[in-house]
Amino acid sequence: MFRSKISGLGYYVPDNVVTNDDLSKIMDTNHEWIVERTGIHERRHKVLEEDTTSGMGVKAARKAMERAGVEAKDIDFVVFATLSPDYYFPGPGVMLQKELGLNTVAALDIRAQCSGFIYALSVADQYIKTGMYKTVLVVGSEVHSAGLDMTTRGRAVSVIFGDGAGAAVLTRSEDETGILSTHIHSQGEHAEELALIAPGMGGRWVSDILKDNDPDDLSYMPHMNGQFVFKNAVVRFSEVIMEGLEANKLQVSDIDMLIPHQANLRISQFIQQKFGLSDDQVFNNIQKYGNTTAASVPIALTEAWEEGKIKTGDVVVLAAFGSGFTWGSVVLKW
């Protein structure tokens, strides 16, 4: 049985910075209202005709590959996590495979929303552990800004989300470092508490929306039951972090760095306080980027590593919760 390790990290965010004050000019909100509820000060929105989900993923992947010291010919498999693909189909994995000039390797798309990168790491880890692949490229990328209701009607959701991409190259570990375990879960009974219902076969198709031309039709806008999501998130975050620690006979005190999905700073702070972790043991960057769903964990992980907050031998825990409901954790030794 092999072990996989993260050999390279990279991220990309658009140049278009959107502050809370910018949003206050187009909807009934203000900086204080947003910060109090989410902790977000600004986020990035795509540059029109420049940034795409697959394109941002390519830029993040190239950085990760360069840092890992691998070339296109070395990549055996691609796992691409997103809820905002360029096309309804095909998924962005094959588009990234083309742009990077990879061989005819498999490209798997993951639809687990905010937990997408955790799910993707878990899949990649299994392929490396079994010996099927040696080098796997894992990407999380999102373009939210094109699908948000940027009016007062949609402010509860639209102030939260941002665009960006993160990537990791997983390779076989030849020592005791690498991913120790992954843990993923779902609970579909709460699917519609955080969802975008249409367009889709389960909702109203594009032709129906265009025909009705109803300005009050919200089926194609993200819906979130904020309080319900928050209550479930703090419970599932706690459970899956402990599941990972217990699986590896570790204690909370063994955590050197916790990288939580950047859903809401208040959720991260709640978990930090519950586990008694110091500010040096938890990394947050939602203040700058908002919630980038599948890109959230790899962007934060990359920044924490770049800033020297993660060192060789550290026990690092990644955790996420999101639409589905889905949630998961990864425990690794750096």
- Note the pLDDT of residue 219: 63
For the chain, the average pLDDT equals: 94
Q: What is the pTM of this model?
A: 0.95
- Predicted confidence (pLDDT) at residue 202 exceeds the cutoff of 60: no
Pairing of strands 223-224, 42-45: unpaired
Residue 198 lies in a domain: no
Residues 133 and 43 in one domain: yes
Residue 292 lies in a domain: yes
Provide mean pLDDT across the span 39-51. 96
Residues 229 and 280 in one domain: yes
Residues 125 and 252 in one domain: no
- Predicted confidence (pLDDT) at residue 168 exceeds the cutoff of 90: yes
Domain termination site, one of 175, 202, 234: 175
Question: What residues make up the domain containing 80?
Answer: 3-175
Residues 280 and 188 in one domain: yes
Residue 41 lies in a domain: yes
- Predicted confidence (pLDDT) at residue 165 exceeds the cutoff of 90: yes
The verdict on whether 261 is a catalytic residue reads: yes
Look at the block and give the residue holding tokens 């690794």. 332
Angstrom distances, CA of residue 171 to CA of 22, 70, 78, 127, 236: 42, 10, 12, 10, 29
The span from the CA of 87 to the CA of 329, in Å, is 29
Residue 203 lies in a domain: no
Q: Which of 45, 144, 261, 264 is catalytic?
A: 261
The verdict on whether 185 is a catalytic residue reads: no
Residues 147 and 21 in one domain: yes
Task: Answer whether the bond into residue 90 is a cis peptide, omega within 30°.
Answer: yes
pLDDT-based confidence at 222, cuts 50/70/90? confident
Continuous H helices in the chain? 20-24, 31-38, 53-68, 92-99, 116-129, 155-158, 206-212, 226-247, 265-275, 286-289, 296-306
Residue 248 lies in a domain: yes
Whole-number CA gyration radius for the chain: 19
Q: Which of 20, 45, 114, 232 is catalytic?
A: 114
Query: What does the block give as tokens for 130?
Result: 């079994």
* 175 close to 182: Cβ distance less than 8 angstroms: no
pLDDT-based confidence at 183, cuts 50/70/90? very high
The span from the CA of 325 to the CA of 100, in Å, is 32
CA 113 and chain centroid, separation: 7
Residues 183 and 141 in one domain: no
Residue 313 lies in a domain: yes
Residue 212 lies in a domain: no
Amino acid at 294: A
Residues 12 and 142 in one domain: yes
% residues pLDDT > 70 (the chain): 95
Provide mean pLDDT across the span 13-34. 97
Residues 229 and 116 in one domain: no
Residues 144 and 247 in one domain: no
- Note the pLDDT of residue 174: 85
Residues 28 and 126 in one domain: yes
Residue 59 lies in a domain: yes
In the 3-class helix/strand/coil scheme, how is 81-136 assigned residue by residue?
ECCCCCCCCCCHHHHHHHHCCCCCCEEEEECCHHHHHHHHHHHHHHHHHCCCCCEE
% residues pLDDT > 90 (the chain): 86
**Higher-pLDDT residue of 27, 212:** 27
Residues 143 and 261 in one domain: no
- Range of lowest pLDDT (72-76, 128-132, 152-156, 236-240): 152-156
- Note the pLDDT of residue 267: 96
Number of domain units in the chain: 2
Provide mean pLDDT across the span 295-316. 98
Provide mean pLDDT across the span 147-163. 92
Pairing of strands 42-45, 3-12: unpaired
The verdict on whether 264 is a catalytic residue reads: no
Residues 17 and 129 in one domain: yes
What CATH number is associated with residue 236? 3.40.47.10
- Note the pLDDT of residue 199: 65
